[in-house]
Every structure is written in C-alpha cells, then in structure tokens.
Amino acid sequence: MGSASARRAGSGPGVTRENSRGKSLSPGGMEEAMTSVLAETDPIKRQRRFSLLIESLTAENAEAAVRALQEAPRSRWNWGQEFSLLNYAWGRVDGPAAVAFAKEQEGRTREWTMSTVLAGWASNNPDEAKKWVAGIEDKEEQRNFTRGLVYGLAQRDVDAATSYVLSLPRTDDNRPAEYMSHIARQQLSQGVEIAAEWSSSLPDGKLKGSALEAVAGEYVRRNPEEAARWASQFAEEDYATGAIAEISDEWAEDDPQSALDWVTTLPEGNTRSRALGETISEWAREKPADAGEYLAAMPSGSERDTAISYYSRRVVYQEPAAAIEWAQSIE
C-alpha cells in the first residue's frame, strides 16, 4: 500500500500510467485528479502532473477539469497560465462546448476565455471554427472571438491565417493590425529571416506595416546592421514608419552613433524624422550633452524641430533643470 508522500511524488490520483497510455478519465475522476494536482506544492511536480492531465483531456471530462481549476484558489502565480492552457486544450477536443463555457463568463475573464478556447478550436478544426465565428450576429462578440480564431489559425497554418486577416473588412479600430502582429510573432518562431521574407511579401498598407514592425523589433536585437539593410527598402513607405523607428530606437540603445549614421542615409520625410527622433532620445538617455550638441548643429527645419521635441521629452524626464537651460540656449 503506497503512502501519501509516495502518491504525491508519483502521478497522483487519476494520473497513472494507464491514463497516460490512453485510458480516459471519467468526469468525476478528472475532477479528483485536478484537485490533487492543484494541491501539489512542488511547482515542477505540479507542472508535470498538470501536463499529464491535459493529455488525458476528452470531450467528456474537459468541463470537469476546467471547473475544478476555476473553483480553486487563485493565489498561485501560474493559475492564469494553467487556466489558459486548459481552456485551449478544451477548445481542441470540443470547440462548441468550450465556447459555450466561455460565453458564460463575465468581464475580462469572458474575453480572455473566448480568445483561448477559439485558438484551441481553430488549431484543430479551422473550418468549423471559422464557420462558427462567421455566424455570430453580435459584431462586438464576433470581433472578440476573431482574435482567438486568428491565434489558432496562425499556430496551424500561417498562410491561412494571413489570408484570413487580409480578407477581414477594414474597420476604424486597430484589431486587424494586432492580428497581423501576432502572426508575425508566430513566424518569428521559425526564424527572423523567414519572418522578414513573409512580412515583406504582404500587400502594401497598414497591415503590412504592423507585421514589419513586429519583425523589426526582433531582427534588430539579433543583428542591427542586417535589420537596417532589410528595412531600408521600405524607407519611403508611410506604412513602414513604425518598423524604421523600432530599429533606430533599439539600435540606439546600444550604439547611437551607428543608428544615427544609418538614419541619416534614409530619404527625407516623416519616416526619417521619427527615426531620428527615436535615435536622439536614446542617445540623450546616456549622453544628453553630446546629443544636445548634435541638435544645436543641425540646420533649421521640421526634422530638427522633431528631433528637439524627442530630445526635450527625454531630458525633461531625467534632468528638468538642465532641459530648460538647454532649451533657452538653443533658441
């Protein structure tokens, strides 16, 4: 007969070798097993046992698992992560039931759960999930579910997710751009070069700009020179302003002079002005006097005015008195 300590060190009630080999837990067995896992105080053991339970999830026992976790104390730092993973897994095994549960929730939990279960459903059965979302009459609710749908599609098939987002009607809100940023981050998991090639191939416009900016942030951290060369091809496009600014800002944190050298090669215009402002701001964070001297030597014009604005905001935050003195001296 095993002791309680031996049981905790092993798989715990309901999480046995037989379960891991395919024997389904009943709803009652799943509830008991989840309760046992949630009582585990060792975080590594808890994570291992929780993963085994997710592998044992079925359409019949998923709701019991989710409700057991929902009713548990939420004091653990990873409760939210566990709740998301469990709802995602439920969406995979029984999308309609999982979204029905999501619709029962209230407040921020409702929107969060909606996205999670739809992501799981779409990752396993994209056509069914898309059809369900398309049939939602409440447009606000439809938009909330669309986020999860895109996330699930991107995990399964980036091209399908991209085509879906490009097909969405244009709206005044920023959600389609947010969706495209998420797809870009999914592509980055395959490598920055692959993500850069994908984002470059998108149709010109706001959605492409969103993807470029997401890729630029990771690209510049890995190889700023290569990132700058890649982004330069879009320097005359308004939609690429965010990507160019992201590279100049991140690069200037470590090497403001190199960032400045690159920015000044870009075509004049709004994109270059913003990139220069970001560079000057980062330069002023470490060496405000040097950045101030550079600004003082710049020819008058809108580009200088923009750079001064970025510089002033940075220096006022760090050294208010010095900023006032400098502003008076440059007039």
CA-based Rg of the chain, rounded to a whole angstrom? 26
**Hey, how many other C-beta atoms are within 10 angstroms of the C-beta on 106?**
7
Asked if 61 and 24 touch (Cβ cutoff 8 Å), the reply is yes
Give me the pLDDT at residue 10, please.
38
Q: What is the dihedral of CA 252, 253, 255, 257, to 10 degrees?
A: 40
Q: Provide the greatest CA pair distance for the chain.
A: 86
State both tokens at 76.
């653990």
Distance between alpha carbon 120 and the CA centroid of its chain, in Å?
16
Positions in the chain whose pLDDT score sits under 70: 1-23, 317-331
**Torsion-angle region of 94 (φ positive above 0: left; ψ -120 to 50: alpha; else: beta):** beta
Nearest to 293 by CA among 282, 283, 306, 303: 283
Alpha-carbon distance 122 to 242, whole Å?
A: 30
- pTM of the predicted model over 0.85: no
Give the model's pLDDT for residue 208.
98
Candidates 196, 153, 199, 193; CA nearest to 177 is: 199
- Cα-Cα-Cα-Cα torsion 218, 223, 229, 232, nearest 10 degrees, comes to 30
Per-residue confidence (pLDDT) for residue 315, from 0 to 100: 80
pLDDT of residue 16: 44
